Structure 1
Amino acid sequence: MRGVATILAVFLVQFICALFFVGDIVASVLGLPIGPMPWEYRELLEVGAAFGLLIGLILGGVLLRRALADRRRAEERLRRASSAFGELLMERFDEWGLTAAERDVALFAIKGLSTAEIAAIRGTSEGTIKAQTNAIYRKAGVSGRPQLISLFLEDLVHDLKPDMETDPSRPAATPGAAD
């Protein structure tokens, strides 16, 4: 939330300073009378507005740099998570004793491809893919694709515990209540 407030503050400072300069130019072009003002005050206003734009530019650059660094960190975490998920898949496939063809079919099925799409990619018939998916489900001990996917989701979220204190939208657990 603090980052949003900072961005809004930078935007507001730049807007006010730009408005001063644009308003001054428009007033000059249209010949609008501006009340008398000592030149010293006018110079201070112009210097202040220019300084405000400069500060906005610098803070905008800092925020952009920070946003790019956050993006790089997020991409790295995603890459690691993707790698860990791939390792998890391979471990499970090894445990289940899947053949190379079954591994390919299982990966495509987990990615959400239909039987027809998998058959087209693998250059086989839909019947072959159905037989392979049935073998995969049997070896994994599940009855279908949703259960297969849920096995991996359970592994991924197994260690995550909801933090009831920081999530006010979740109701508090009642002592002695069954899960």
Structure 2
Amino acid sequence: MRSFSFITLIFVIQAVCAIFFVSDILLTVLGLRSSPISWQTRELLEIVAALGLLLGLILGAGAILHSMKEARQVRGQLRVASGAFMELLEEKFDLWALTPAERDVAMFSIKGMNTGEIAGLRNTSEGTVKAQTNAIYRKAQVTSRPQLLSLFIEDLMADALPGVDVEPLQQRQSGTR
């Protein structure tokens, strides 16, 4: 919210200064100025307006640099989260003792591909993929793709949800109740 207010302030400063310059030119060109102002006052107003535009430029550049820094940090966090997710996948696949073929099918399934797409990518029949999918579900103790995916989501969110007991889920996954 603070960032939005800051950018709004930059916009307002630049808009006021731009309006000053445009209105000054229009009033002069159209001859609508009723009483001329002293050249000292006019120069002072122009200097203030120019400084306002310069300030807006500097603050805008600062806001852009800040946004770029935040974007780099978010991309770094996303890379870490992606790596953590892959580690979690590998841990679960090891825990469930999935074969290399089952690992591939599980990975494609988690990515949201259907049986036909997985069969096409693996150069196997849909029946083979269905059998491997059933073996994965049996080893993971789930009955569907959404349940399989929820195992990973729950593990990733466990640290982020204080007070939520994930122990029963972890016991179910490891086979100890």
**TM-score bracket for the superposition, by shorter chain length:** 0.7 to 0.9
Provide the secondary structure at the position in 1 that maps to 2:113.
coil
2:158 maps to a residue whose letter is H
Match of 1:65 in 2: 65
Task: Find the aligned partners of 2:47 and 2:79 in 1 and give their Cα distance.
Answer: 48
Alignment of 1:11 onto 2:11: yes
Does the C-alpha gap of structure 1 residues 139 and 100 become closer, same or farther in structure 2, counting only changes over 3 Å? same
1-side partners of 2:33 and 2:22: how far apart?
15
Supply the distance in 2 between the matched residues of 1:68 and 1:98 (Cα, whole angstroms). 42
1:142 paired with 2:163, answer no
Q: Distance in 2 between matches of 1:120 and 1:82?
A: 26
* Alpha-carbon shift at residue 32 of structure 1 (Å): 2.6
Q: What amino acid is aligned across from residue 55 of structure 1 in structure 2?
A: L
Distance 1:157 1:25 in 2: 60
Structure 1: how far apart are the matches of 2:4 and 2:49?
A: 23
User: What TM-score, normalized to structure 2?
Assistant: 0.88
Amino acid at match of 2:133: T
Query: How far is 1:35 from its partner?
Result: 2.6
CA distance in 2, matches of 1:27, 1:162: 64
**Measured at CA, do residues 96 and 162 of structure 1 come closer, stay the same or move farther in structure 2, by a change above 3 Å?**
closer
Query: 1 CA distance for matches of 2:150 and 2:93?
Result: 15
User: Once the 2 structures are TM-superposed, how far is the Cα of residue 34 of structure 1 from its aligned partner?
Assistant: 4.5
162 and 28 in structure 1: CA distance in 2 versus 1, 3 angstrom threshold: farther
Aligned 1:18-33 pairs, distance under 5 A: 18-33=18-33
Separation in 1, partners of 2:92, 2:35: 79
Task: Work out whether 1:156 is the aligned partner of 2:156.
Answer: yes
Deviation, 1:6, is 0.9
1:8-157 alignment runs, 5 A limit: 8-157=8-157
**TM-score w.r.t. length of structure 1:** 0.87
Structure 1 gap segments, 5+ residues each = 164-179
Give the C-alpha shift of residue 162 in structure 1: 5.7
**How many residue pairs align between the two structures?**
163
Shift in alpha-carbon separation, 1:33–1:94, aligned structure 2, 3 A = same
Residues in 2 aligned to 1:129 and 1:100: alpha-carbon distance in whole angstroms: 13
Deviations 1:100-146 (A, max 9, x none): 11111101101111111111111111111101100100111111111
Deviation digits for residues 44-83 of structure 1 (CA, Å, limit 9, x no counterpart): 1000000000000000000000000000000000000000
> Structure 2: which 5+ runs fail to align?
164-177
Residues 24-33 or 11-20, more deviating: 24-33
Q: Of Structure 1 and Structure 2, which has the larger fraction of its residues in helix?
A: 2
